[in-house]
């Protein structure tokens, strides 16, 4: 089916190196078999820590943790039906291009632990899983960027033998320093 998500995301830096974040997805899901549904997805909260960066601000290491709460209706395809805790490490660098362009390259490894007690049923497809992602951001100006990202996981999905993967691209625009607007598809 098709899944369209509008996800307001708030991030607050407590210090220069430590930030808290929250995301509240609004989803519109059209299933190949079944009804079309709209509503809230699973709310996410977490933190990021800039553990180390070079004096030139790159390369960098950012450990992060996200708690996903089962607020979306699993039966309608809006949520997972269980609590998930994801921990990971993002490693990245920046390369200066010609003129004022910058290219950012990031690799992110994650591991997700699923709370079996919060699942409505245990059908065997909700096992802990790892994932590996890579992203490239082409910063055309301090306000506008183009990006591409890909991710592969070893998550087991019902009725599928292949490893799920995601490929997406998007644009971001920063009208003021405290607001970033992003549009992604994939």
Instruction: Judge whether 27 and 44 are in contact, CB under 8 Å.
Output: no
Under DSSP, the state recorded for 159 is T
Split at pLDDT 50, 70, 90, the class of 130 is: very high
Q: Which long-range contacts (CB under 8 A, 24 or more apart) does 53-57 make?
A: 57/94
Contacts of 55 (CB under 8 A, 6+ apart): none
Structure pTM? 0.82
Q: Which tokens sit at 137?
A: 């951001």
Per-residue pLDDT reduced to its tens digit, 12-32: 999 989 999 999 999 998 877
β-bridge pairing 165-176 and 179-185: antiparallel
| Between 73 and 58, residue with greater pLDDT | 73
User: Across the strands, what pairs with 119?
Assistant: none
Q: Determine the Cα–Cα distance for residues 68 and 82; give it in Å rounded to an integer.
A: 8
Split at pLDDT 50, 70, 90, the class of 6 is: confident
């Amino acid at each position: 089916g098709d899944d369209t998500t509008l996800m307001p995301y708030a991030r607050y830096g407590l210090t220069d190196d430590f930030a808290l974040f929250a995301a509240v997805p609004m989803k519109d899901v059209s299933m190949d078999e079944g009804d079309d549904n709209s509503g809230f997805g699973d709310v996410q909260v977490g933190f990021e820590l800039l553990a180390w960066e070079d004096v030139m601000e790159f390369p960098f290491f950012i450990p992060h943790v996200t708690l996903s709460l089962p607020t979306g209706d699993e039966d309608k395809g809006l949520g997972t039906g269980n609590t998930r805790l994801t921990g990971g490490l993002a490693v990245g660098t920046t390369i200066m291009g010609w003129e004022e362009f910058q290219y950012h390259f990031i690799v992110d490894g994650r591991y997700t632990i699923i709370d079996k007690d919060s699942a409505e049923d245990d059908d065997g497809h909700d096992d802990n899983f790892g994932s590996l992602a890579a992203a490239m951001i082409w910063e055309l100006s301090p306000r506008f960027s183009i990006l591409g990202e890909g991710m592969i996981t070893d998550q087991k999905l019902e009725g599928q033998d292949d490893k799920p993967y995601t490929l997406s691209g998007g644009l971001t625009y920063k009208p003021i320093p405290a607001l970033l607007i992003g549009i992604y598809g994939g």
